[in-house]
Amino acid sequence: MERWLTGVERKTESEASSKTKNQNPCDEAQRCRLPRNARLPPQASLDGALSALRSVCGEDSVLLGEAVREQHGRDESVHRCCPPDVVVFPHCVEEVSALAKVCHKHRLPIIPFGTGTGLEGGVSAVQGGVCFSLRKMEQVLDLHQEDFDVTVEPGVTRKALNAYLRDTGLWFPVDPGADASLCGMAATSASGTNAVRYGTMRENVLNLEVVLADGTVVHTAGKGRHPRKTSAGYNLTNLFVGSEGTLGILTKTTLRLYGVPEVVVSAVCSFPSVQSAVDSTVQILQSGVPIARIEFLDEVMVDACNRFSSLSYPVTPTLFLEFHGSEGGLEGQVKTAEDISQSNGGSDFQWAVDVETRNLLWKARHDAWYAALALRPGCKAYATDVCVPLSRLPQIIVETKQDLVENRLTGPIAGHVGDGNFHCLMVLDPGDPEEVQRVHLFTERLARRALAMDGTCTGEHGVGLGKRALLCEELGHAAMQVTSSLKQMLDPMNLMNPGKILQPRGG
């Protein structure tokens, strides 16, 4: 769940179970790394596997150095680095399959790695094992311009894909901020600022090539198939979207593409209160305006962005909006949005029409993380992530603001409020135990506040290490049993990214 973890404690199973009765469920996250002798095969098994791994992808693609292992044992989260025992760099799906077979034979955990931009500790090798770094698989394959889709390998990032598409009149709009790998985005069901118009990765993945724990290669919608829709059997594609590497390694993804809009205009609107800004968001969406982006920043976040990005917006709750469409079609959309905003006390729209001004505006929004950090130099930041139905959005943001003030916490709010998703960018001193504890309690309250409002504990960051207990609360026992059964069927030896999403077996 959402919490600050200064380190993933290494406890024995008996120590952990002896404390379970008196623990808050969120404390489960702290016992994710068990002693290696409790889970892993003897060192001889790893040594025996090394020669087989090298025979698959070459001596230079199997690395044991401390620096490279440390690099692949952490992401952008607050979870402590847990390095793998070895990092391999496959060049193609055949090598991935062969390497997985070696790991399966020697019972070595497998941890897929894209660009390391995740926010929930999803790449931490909590039981050691073999990290599959997929950056050398970086080909854009099978672009079908007339069908509006493309297939890419896991080393291709969203920025690289859009650069490749620049002269085609097409683009891929899912934008989580970081230049993440597209297969990694599929693995975490990422979304971002454009999700309100174009959807998340779940709506934009048509097919996946997946290597299972035993090396079997599966195509979730059938090899080479890319229809816009299907009702053929179980939705295997979306089973793997959001699976965070716990069911298989994504080695290709086929994605929906969209036409580059004829006209793009952005605007900024300031409001007298959080309530009025969020009410405007809900009313704009209820009016049917097909807005592309509608981002909320509270006054603390606006002040931070002004300072960090040299802006001069009023320090009040603010919406950043963007409209995509044709010259004639946008006029009505913009007028409706502006009228609704002004009826809620909003200012006149400040326009960003040219590309340079728009880019500065959205760069400031994407730099919100760094702007928040700059509020307290030398401190650390942690991004919360909850999502609620739109009708509950004003209530949860107002209550969260009150909670932050009452508990003397620095947590500027920024959110993709068009789909009910927002973040508190918590800035704290990890050397202050009292402040760390206040953040622990706040993030627990925030997540459970979202669940109480029929929302989710994670809108886009994923479960990873920290939200496993919350996932149980969110889905309920029966759904978790089904989830565990699927994991057991596809990965009976629990080799695929163990310790993520599900509680440790026997834990």
At 225, is the pLDDT very low, low, confident or very high (cuts 50, 70, 90)? very high
298-319 pLDDT, tens digit each? 999 999 999 999 999 999 999 9
User: Could you give the domains of the chain?
Assistant: 47-133 (3.30.43.10), 140-259 (3.30.465.10), 263-452 (3.40.462.10)
CB atoms within 10 A of CB 66: 8
* Separation of alpha carbons 117 and 176, rounded Å: 10
180-207 pLDDT, tens digit each? 999 999 999 999 999 999 999 999 999 9
pLDDT for position 328: 81
Burial class (CB in 10 A: 0-12, 13-18, 19+), 67: exposed
The yes-or-no verdict on residue 419 having pLDDT over 60 is yes
- Whether the pTM exceeds 0.95: the reply is no
The yes-or-no verdict on residue 284 having pLDDT over 60 is yes
DSSP string covering 147-205, please? GTEEEE-TT-BHHHHHHHTTTTTEE-----SS--BHHHHHHHT---TTHHHH--HHHHE
Q: What is the mean pLDDT of residues 94-115?
A: 97
pLDDT for position 17: 36
435-457 pLDDT, tens digit each? 999 998 999 999 999 999 999 99
pLDDT for position 505: 62
Residue 161 has phi, psi (to 5 degrees) of -65, -45
Tokens of 21: 């009765």
Tokens of 102: 């070696």
Percent of all residues in the chain with a pLDDT value above 70, rounded to a whole number = 91
At 386, is the pLDDT very low, low, confident or very high (cuts 50, 70, 90)? very high
pLDDT for position 22: 38
* Separation of alpha carbons 382 and 1, rounded Å: 12
* Separation of alpha carbons 195 and 175, rounded Å: 8
**Contact (Cβ atoms closer than 8 angstroms) between residue 130 and residue 84:** yes
At 353, is the pLDDT very low, low, confident or very high (cuts 50, 70, 90)? confident
The yes-or-no verdict on residue 13 having pLDDT over 80 is no
pLDDT for position 250: 98
